[in-house]
Amino acid sequence: MRAFILFYYLCTRIIITNIINQIYPMEKSALQIARAAYQPKLPKALRGALKAVEGEPTQSVADQEEVKKLFPNTYGMPYLKFEPTDGQMTTAQMNVGVILSGGQAPGGHNVISGLFDGIKKLNPNNKLYGFILGPGGLVDHNYMELTPEIIDEYRNTGGFDIIGSGRTKLEKKEQFDKGLEILKELGIKALVIIGGDDSNTNACVLAEYYKAINAGVQVIGCPKTIDGDLKNSEIEASFGFDTATKVYSEVIGNIMRDCNSAKKYWHFIKLMGRSASHVTLECALQTHPNVCLIGEEVEAKNLTLDDVVTSIAEVVADRASRGMNYGVALVPEGLIEFIPAIKKLIAELNDLIAANQAEFDKITADEKIAFIAAHLSETNAAIFKSLPTGVSRQLALERDPHGNVQVSLIETEQLLADMVAVKLAEWKKEGKFCGKFSTQHHFFGYEGRCAAPSNWDADYCYSLGFNASMLMAAGKTGYMSSIKNTYRPADEWIAGGIPITMMMNMEKRNGEMKPVIKKALVELDGKPFNFFASKRDEWAKDTCFVYPGPIQYFGPAEVADQPTITLKLEQA
């Protein structure tokens, strides 16, 4: 009952807030006023009439037979590219629904703005309905019509507060049928799900079901995640990554300036990225830290936690020998999961918890720890018991809605700093000079998720939303909106679509094999990592800090419209 009251309160607050903002417009800063007037740039193909050009049929990135069996109606569809043509784009009246799913990312409001403008261009009578607080809004029939006044209030702004977001998984027939009831009631012919890999997996499952029963509802996905791990040959970047890494890099640069001024602290900075180290790598490319850990490299080299600690301690001791008792170390949020021995432990933990979920729900946290220690294999039990208490407890307890360890709650930056201090103390006893070692600890996460989007993200997100409306006009379902060639000026961007099934593979989730979008990890043979690897020894020895400063929204394109260094190195 308490959960229902809270849910009702949140839904009511969103609706009332939007109504109040229309009657009594919010006070705005000069920057907000200027950003509201910004008109995002569109690729040439999306500015007028267009035609859809189909490419080759596709197949999933792995587990082709299993994925094809699960998605018989949406598997194998072709790539799609939009090209300019003569005439005008018009369609019959078609209402559209939109859902923001998962964690926030800068630019979500511009996806919705682009979608709104796109469907209005196709037919001025088209309406856009937003489902409140994520996929749960579809199932529970909580929605609001997004009018021009509401849309204009949120153009080029950060956050997801226009309709809120949520993490409800769409995976059961009962949910699909309940959602279909409200879609039919509102005359909605197409639904756009804006989210990350798990959310777009849900979109793919929903598209398959609605097509199988001939429901007459198209489902289109849009690639969102600041982690940067939703990408492939057709999806060059997930939106929000550009803005978030620029926000983090600004703050890292500020800390570096302080570090270089005081010359007495080592700053350990944890950055978001549970399953991939893209954020950490991009921030390293922008700021040049003395130490930067890449989880994918740790796994590839089969490093232990002690190996990682020793590598950091060696840099600390070397700098101290040259009178530099200070530095900056960047740590990816998901580092713990990349250490092979701990990764195997987590895999066994997940299976153990999934197999005993009913019993787990009835016992206390301490009883869960004892149960796990008693039922793990000998090797993993030894590793589990050797970990600091805070880490072992977090690995054993609450999972997120997708069954993942909540690594953001593990203070990896503090853990590493403490372990480095112990290592240095041991070396001092052996007569090795290690200097002074004082630390500060930081975790940059929420600071970047709702920032006002950079020009690049504002343009990219608007294009993704507008492009989604064109995919609807082309009659497509089970596609993800795709904008390519994005390291070039927006004029030269290429619009189209990619079947979501092409991105699928089979993975174990909550003890069962399920179809999910394969995460894109940092490629150790890729240009961004190789450039970083060629520079890190120099950055470790010397103070080569770069101070990027705040995001620039105005000025020459070479200052205000630049994409991430990762994107330029990958694509240029």
The residues, ordered by sequence, that sit 6+ positions from 358 with a Cβ below 8 Å of its Cβ are: none
Distance, CA of 516 to CA of 521 (rounded, Å): 15
Give me 395's structure tokens. 């690995």
Active site residue 229: no
User: Within 10 Å of residue 207's Cβ, how many Cβ atoms?
Assistant: 27
Which is catalytic among the residues 140, 197, 198, 227? 227
Interhelix angle 455-473/108-122, rounded to 10 degrees, is 40
Q: Which of 239, 122, 133, 135 is nearest to 189 (CA)?
A: 122
Half-sphere exposure (Cβ direction) of 22: Cα atoms closer than 13 Å: 13
Query: Which bin fits 475, alpha (ψ -120 to 50), beta or left (φ > 0)?
Result: left
- For residue 48, what are the CA distances in angstroms to 64, 238, 536? 37, 25, 47
Give me 424's structure tokens. 């240095």
Cα dihedral 15, 16, 18, 24 in deg (nearest 10): 170
Half-sphere exposure (Cβ direction) of 363: Cα atoms closer than 13 Å: 16
Distance, CA of 452 to CA of 333 (rounded, Å): 23
- For residue 246, what are the CA distances in angstroms to 97, 279, 549? 31, 10, 9
SS (H, E, C) 273-306: CCCCCHHHHHHHHHHCCCEECCHHHHHHCCCCHH
- Indicate which residues carry an active-site annotation: 227
